[in-house]
């Protein structure tokens, strides 16, 4: 996105879109109309209330981007321990950039990110994982195809001083997921799409993180695998108390799954509400749920 695109969109924030609803909306149209979704941005109190005023992770007035290019503008986010939060919005809105910023991949130009009350804004990815217990599950296919399933899992423990700890953690994961266990000595390239996604998630679990950042868990998967991945995430949230922040292009799935949803448009949070309430919102439905 260029600065010009952003100016175009923000200039329509106070008006209403006039695009036709008969045709499939283009990304530009969705962005333009979504910019008009809520005339006012949610107040800080709204973000706090959605996290029951007890946030584990708090983002305040975050301005961030890549190099000199600013992508995020005064982004707020709050999530409670054991909650799930989903970011939806048009392509290029900055959803992945929010996750990148939490994990330490972006240039932070202002604002703060805290876990409990610890300021973690300036920590690099390795410290985020080791000290702040935040794990990032990549959007791109990131398994090492020529390494075995087991070796891929061990890689998740690369920050551990003692290799034996990584092996123990991998063994616990194999106990939990027999599907992976059956293939532990095979190269990762033989895995199905769903098994591969399971391996990507499991690899992030080796360090026993508290917060999982998950970018597009359903991308590129057949429907039956999509359900499997959401079941795995559901188990991690509800049985293991993990806190999940996800980005999901499949807005229906993402909002159905998540306690809280945010709509992002042009680098800003345009709406924030309970997942179910966003699902029921007619404008959200028209723009993001294909109906
Ligand atoms: N590593 C990067 N370096 C420079 N610019 C980037 C980088 N990653 C993303 N961008 C730019 O930042 C903007 C926001 O991208 P981002 O990936 O956060 O959007 P998104 O909402 O996740 O979109 P999508 O739904 O397509 O994944 C885009 O204009 C993109 O081109
Ligand atoms: Mg993305």
Q: What DSSP assignment string belongs to 131-165?
A: TS-EEEE-SS----TTSBHHHHHHHTTTT-SSHHH
With the C-alpha atoms ordered 146, 97, 76, 91, is the resulting torsion angle positive or negative? negative
Work out the pLDDT band at 57, boundaries 50, 70, 90: very high
For ligand 2, an ion, list residues with CB under 5 A: 96
Is residue 66 in contact with ligand 1, taking CB distance under 6 Å? yes
Work out the pLDDT band at 173, boundaries 50, 70, 90: very high
Work out the pLDDT band at 24, boundaries 50, 70, 90: low
186-197 pLDDT, tens digit per residue, is 999 999 988 999
Lowest average pLDDT, out of 36-40, 90-94, 103-107, goes to 36-40
Distance 150 CA to ligand 1 centre (A): 32
Per-residue confidence (pLDDT) for residue 34, from 0 to 100: 74
pLDDT, averaged across the chain: 88
Is residue 94 in contact with ligand 1, taking CB distance under 6 Å? yes
Q: Whose CA is nearest to atom 18 of ligand 1?
A: 94
- Let me know: does 141 contact 196? Beta carbons within 8 Å: yes
- Full set of structural domains in the chain with CATH: 3-143+191-288 (3.40.50.300)
Per-residue confidence (pLDDT) for residue 156, from 0 to 100: 87
Mean pLDDT of 29-48: 82
Per-residue confidence (pLDDT) for residue 65, from 0 to 100: 97
Residue 149: is its pLDDT beyond 70? yes
Per-residue confidence (pLDDT) for residue 141, from 0 to 100: 65
Work out the pLDDT band at 58, boundaries 50, 70, 90: very high
Mean pLDDT of 227-251: 95
Ligand nearest to the CA of 97: 1
Is residue 72 in contact with ligand 1, taking CB distance under 6 Å? no
Give, in order, the Cα–Cα distances in Å from 146 to each of 137, 142, 151, 191: 20, 12, 10, 11
Work out the pLDDT band at 125, boundaries 50, 70, 90: confident
Lowest average pLDDT, out of 13-22, 219-228, 254-263, goes to 13-22
Per-residue confidence (pLDDT) for residue 244, from 0 to 100: 98
Mean pLDDT of 63-75: 97
- Let me know: does 253 contact 230? Beta carbons within 8 Å: yes
Residue 10: is its pLDDT beyond 70? no
Residue 41: is its pLDDT beyond 80? yes
Distance 96 CA to ligand 1 centre (A): 6
Instruction: State the Cα–Cα distance between residues 108 and 66, nearest whole angstrom.
Output: 9
Per-residue confidence (pLDDT) for residue 139, from 0 to 100: 61
Write down the pTM of the prediction.
0.88
């Amino acid at each position: 996105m260029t600065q010009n695109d952003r100016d175009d969109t923000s200039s329509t924030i106070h008006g209403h879109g006039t695009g036709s609803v008969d045709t499939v909306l283009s990304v530009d149209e969705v962005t333009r109309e979504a910019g008009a979704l809520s005339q006012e941005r949610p107040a800080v109190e709204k973000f706090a209330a959605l996290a029951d005023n007890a946030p584990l992770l708090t983002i305040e007035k975050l301005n961030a981007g890549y190099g000199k290019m600013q992508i995020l503008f005064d982004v707020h986010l709050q999530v409670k321990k054991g909650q799930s939060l989903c970011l939806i919005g048009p392509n290029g809105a900055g959803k992945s950039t929010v996750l990148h910023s939490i994990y330490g991949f972006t240039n932070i130009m202002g604002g703060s990110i805290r876990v409990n009350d610890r300021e973690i804004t300036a920590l690099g990815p390795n410290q985020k994982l080791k000290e702040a217990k935040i794990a990032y599950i990549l959007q791109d296919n990131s398994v090492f195809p020529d390494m075995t399933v087991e070796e891929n899992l061990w890689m998740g423990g690369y920050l551990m001083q003692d290799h034996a700890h990584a092996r123990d953690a991998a063994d616990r994961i194999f106990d939990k997921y027999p599907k992976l266990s059956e293939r532990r000595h095979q190269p990762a390239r033989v895995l199905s799409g769903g098994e591969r996604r399971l391996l990507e998630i499991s690899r992030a679990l080796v360090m026993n993180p508290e917060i999982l950042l998950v970018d597009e868990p359903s991308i590129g998967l057949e429907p039956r695998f999509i359900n499997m991945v959401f079941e795995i995430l559901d188990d991690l949230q509800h049985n293991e108390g993990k806190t999940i922040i996800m980005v999901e292009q499949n807005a229906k799935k993402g909002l159905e799954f998540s306690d809280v949803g945010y709509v992002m448009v042009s680098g800003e949070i345009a709406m924030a509400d309970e997942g179910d309430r966003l699902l029921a919102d007619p404008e959200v439905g028209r723009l993001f749920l294909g109906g």
